[in-house]
Structure 1
Amino acid sequence: MDRQELERELRETFDGDPDLVPVVARQARDLSESDQFATDFGAELTVADVIRNLEDAPDDYGLAERWNWWLGALDLSHGGYARFSVRQDIDTTS
């Protein structure tokens, strides 16, 4: 999976926090390189797969929430996907 292509598609499709785009793209690349998706679904993970599945998330979700929503579904159905989740920074100023 081409990380730069995924970053471009994430920016264009979801117009989210620019700081989160590379984080989600890195996690997607890690997922792709793990071969877990290919093993579970019989095909390599593509940029189109990621975008299509993130588009299925609730409309009011941000990019990281969409990613975690999809991974949660994968984890429930197949197990082992939680390790690719994106954690939000903890607010230490309040």
Structure 2
Amino acid sequence: MDTTALKQRLDRFDGSESERRAVARQARDLADSGVFERDEGYQLTATVVLDQLADAPDGGPADRWNWWLGSLEVVHGAYSRFQVERWQEA
């Protein structure tokens, strides 16, 4: 997971730098855990994240991330721990 590239490309969903960093960090944690790859059968990449977030109805990066993770939680379980609950603004 290239978190630097992901963080930069998340700017298309607006949100603050801190919010984008929090989403990228959770995406990296999810990728490192192997849970997504086990459940979906392919590697979690920045492109996969961005494609999934583009399907979300609206909101900033964290809202979109949490919407997608909520879908994964319903189907597979064990994804709520990767949701973004808060971030510290610089």
TM over 0.5: yes
- Aligned partner of 1:49 in structure 2 is 48
Which of 64, 67, 70 is matched with 1:69 structurally?
Answer: 67
AA aligned opposite 1:41: E
Q: Deviations over 1:14-72 (max 9, x none)?
A: 1222210110000000000000010001111011110010011113x121111100000
Aligned length: 87
| TM-score normalised according to structure 2 size | 0.91
Task: Name the structure, 1 or 2, with higher relative contact order (CA <8 Å, separation 6+).
Answer: 2
1:7 aligns with 2:7: yes
AA aligned opposite 2:23: V
Query: Residue 88 of structure 1: CA displacement?
Result: 3.2
Q: Which runs of 4+ in 1 moved over 2 A?
A: none
Distance in structure 2 (CA, Å) of the matches to 1:66 and 1:19: 15
- Aligned partner of 1:92 in structure 2 is none
Distance in structure 2 (CA, Å) of the matches to 1:5 and 1:27: 14
The runs of 5 or more residues in structure 1 that have no matched partner are 90-94
The runs of 5 or more residues in structure 2 that have no matched partner are none
What is the root-mean-square deviation of aligned Cα atoms in Å? 1.1
